[in-house]
Structures are given as structure tokens and as C-alpha cells.
Amino acid sequence: MTTLAPQAVVRLGTRPSPMAMEQTGRFAQAFHACHPQLTLDIRKITSEGDAHRGPLSQIGGKGAFTRRADTHLLDGRVDATIACAKDLPGSHDRAPGTAVAAVLPREDVRDVLVLPVGHQPVTLAELPPGTRVGTSAPRRAALLASLFPQLVPVPIRGNADSRLDRLDHGRLGADVMIAALAGLRRLGFADRAGEVLDPTLWLPATGAGIIVVEHRADDTVTGGLLAPLTHPATRILLDAERAVLAELAGGCLTAASAHATLDDTGRVIVRAAVLDPAGGPSVRAEASGSTEHAAEIGRRTARALLNAGALRLLAVTHE
Ligand SMILES: NCc1[nH]cc(CCC(=O)O)c1CC(=O)O
């Protein structure tokens, strides 16, 4: 009698940034707890987005963070890749053949104001007009333009830890900056979080606070090993939010927000918005329904946005 040899090693591709390595380390713990007999071989893959210091729009937008990892995955150089859901581009520029294998429990979705070390505590509303606020995300720039038009968004690049260092040394080109609370916590810099921005006004990023592991869609062995690591409620939220983005055909360069939550009765509620980069009124929509239809509820929310005139704003952001 023969027994099937279990796959002894899973090769996992990760970006090499400190934040990526922290989340990969946390995933590795969960993986070993689930599969003590297996080895996780962590392979660092530097993305074009990490290597390129100029604006992301020059290298095809957000796909720059996933393209190379997708290639390594599809070539079979790794069995799986790990990424922040927020950094995944819209499905239209994902490599066909990759699929989500595991979704880790959602962390905080909120953004925070970060001040240079030693700065007296202030809120965004209290900052003097003309204060330069570092952020490269179109969503954050559009939120600043609409909620705090007296402040000046300035683009910043680089890893979160290097941004903090440059902010403190006056070398960021910005007086303050916006960051994700979940990201600061991962880096051990939770104490650098200033004002925590209200997510009903300062709309969260699609997929904020969610880490996903992807595999080749036809690799059922790896898929089967990773599936038990999925947090089912987070998977529902992610499916709903990603469906909004897919239906809008938008990626990182789109100033949009989709935020799904579960209510007490177990229904999923999707609130989404397409923002005006110039600070004008956003287009908003909401839909809810059974968690079994999470993606369809996301698509319905997106169609409501389009019916309400979101295309005009999307056309602007895609230029
Ligand atoms: N755009 C970079 C990025 N991608 C994911 C996070 C961390 C938080 C998360 O997973 O939502 C961050 C840092 C930030 O935006 O400040």
C-alpha cells in the first residue's frame, strides 16, 4: 500500500519591505500551527514598485507591486504569494490564473494622521492652511481635497518605515502625513498614530487591513493547504469590496472606496464611493444582502454608483 506524499515545502513569495516581512512572519506562524509537518520557504521578491522611486503612474500604477510576484507564481518559482489586499490592482490587470487561496482576519481599516516626532498633538482640522500632507493614494488626496481643502496633498513614496524617518528629519517634502493604522501597528509604530480618522467621513481603502495569500488557480494541492487559514467573515467582506472595484474597472489610480461590514443578523452591507480628485461632491451608494451573495452585492453597489454618475469622476482619475 502506498500513501500519497504530502507536499513537504510551500514556497511563499513576499515583498521584502519591513511591513511585508512582518505580515509574512505572522502568516508563517498560522501556517505552522495548522501544518506542523510542512516547511514554509519564504522567498523575497522585489517588485518594480519597490525598485522605482518615481510616481507609480509611470510604471503602470498599482500593478507594479504585484506583476513580478504574479510572474514568479505562474512560472512555478513559488507556490504562493502574500500581499495586502489594498495593494492589489483591479482584477482587469491581474494575471489570469492566480486566485486567492487564504484571507487573513481583517485588522483596523482606519487611516491616521502622523506628525513629526515631538510635534504637539493636532488634528487635521487644526493644521494651519497650506500645511503639506504627504500621501500618494488618490483616495487620500481626494478626501483631503473635499474635507480639508485648506491643506495641500503632496505625493510621497517609499516604505512606511522610511517615510516615518524622513518625516522626522524634515526630508519627506511634507509637514505631516497620512498612514494606515494597521500598517503602523505591524511595524511596531502604533505610538506614532495621531488623530484616528472617522471612517464614515474619511472613507477606507478597498481591502484595507486585509492580507491575502494567492496561489495558481489550478494548483489544488497548495490551495487545499492554504484554505483552512482563511477567516470566513473577512473573505466575505473582501469578496464584496473587490467586486465593487472590479465592476468599476478601477485599481489604485481610482479614487474610490468600498467598505463592507456585517450586521447583527449576518447580512453584508457595502458602502462605496467614487471621489472627485478636485474635491467636489463624491458619488455614493450602498447595498446589502445575504453573505452568500457578497460579490453580487458588491457589483450591485458599483452599478448604483455608475447609475448615479460615477463614470464622470472615474474618467477624470484615469487620465
Ligand atoms: N499603500 C501601502 C499600504 N498597503 C497596505 C498598508 C497597510 C495597511 C493595510 O493593509 O491596509 C499600507 C500602508 C499605508 O497605506 O499606510
Topology at the third CATH level for domain 231-319: Double Stranded RNA Binding Domain (3.30.160)
Per the prediction, the chain carries an average pLDDT of 92
Residue extents of the structural domains in the chain: 1-104+209-230, 111-192, 231-319
- pLDDT single digits (tens) 79-101: 999 999 998 877 656 778 999 99
**How high is the ipTM of this complex?**
0.94
**Cα(180) to centroid(ligand 1), Å:** 5
Which of 12-26, 89-103, 113-127, 170-184 is the least confident region? Answer: 89-103
Closest ligand 1 atom to residue 23 Cα is 10
Q: Which are the catalytic amino acids? A: 87
196 secondary structure, DSSP code:
B
Rounded CA separation 242/186 (Å)? 23
Question: Which of the four CATH numbers 3.40.50.300, 3.40.190.10, 3.30.450.70, 2.60.40.420 does domain 111-192 have?
Answer: 3.40.190.10
What is the average per-residue pLDDT within 222-226? 97
Report the top-level CATH class of 1-104+209-230: alpha beta
Tell me what pLDDT residue 14 has. Answer: 97
From 84, 108, 109, 211, give the residue whose CB has the most ligand 1 atoms within 8 Å, as the site to mutate. Answer: 84
Fold match, 1-104+209-230 / 231-319: no
Closest ligand 1 atom to residue 137 Cα is 1
**Cα(196) to centroid(ligand 1), Å:** 15
From 17, 19, 107, 113, give the residue whose CB has the most ligand 1 atoms within 8 Å, as the site to mutate. Answer: 19
Are the beta carbons of 168 and 117 closer than 8 angstroms? yes
Closest ligand 1 atom to residue 205 Cα is 11
- pLDDT band of residue 318 (cuts 50, 70, 90) is very low
Tell me what pLDDT residue 88 has. Answer: 87
φ, ψ for residue 303 (rounded to 5)? -65, -35
pTM: 0.93
Rounded CA separation 245/224 (Å)? 27
**Cα(179) to centroid(ligand 1), Å:** 7
Q: How many helices (H) and strands (E) does the chain have?
A: 10, 12
- pLDDT band of residue 60 (cuts 50, 70, 90) is low
- pLDDT single digits (tens) 117-135: 999 999 999 999 999 999 9
Are the beta carbons of 108 and 238 closer than 8 angstroms? no
What is the average per-residue pLDDT within 102-129? 97
What is the average per-residue pLDDT within 125-148? 96
Residue 166 has pLDDT above 60, yes or no: yes
Tell me what pLDDT residue 315 has. Answer: 64
What is the average per-residue pLDDT within 244-248? 91
157's CB contacts (< 8 A; 6+ apart) are 53, 54, 55, 56, 136
Alpha carbons within 13 angstroms on the beta-carbon side of residue 86 total 23
Give me the residue label for grid cell 517588485.
Answer: 47
Give the whole-number percent of the chain exceeding pLDDT 70.
93
Residue whose CA is at the smallest distance from ligand 1 atom 7: 183
Pocket of ligand 1 (CB under 6 A): 84, 86-87, 160, 179-180, 182-183, 208-209
From 86, 104, 112, give the residue whose CB has the most ligand 1 atoms within 8 Å, as the site to mutate. Answer: 86
**Cα(245) to centroid(ligand 1), Å:** 17
CA-nearest of 13, 7, 27, 9 to 73 is: 13
Rounded CA separation 146/169 (Å)? 29
φ, ψ for residue 192 (rounded to 5)? -90, -5
Which cell numbers in the block locate residue 127? Answer: 493644521
Tell me what pLDDT residue 251 has. Answer: 52
- pLDDT band of residue 252 (cuts 50, 70, 90) is very low
Rounded CA separation 214/85 (Å)? 10
Closest ligand 1 atom to residue 111 Cα is 16
CA distances from 155 to 17, 78, 285 (A): 19, 33, 28
**Cα(265) to centroid(ligand 1), Å:** 30
Closest ligand 1 atom to residue 182 Cα is 8
What is the average per-residue pLDDT within 26-47? 96
Tell me what pLDDT residue 26 has. Answer: 96
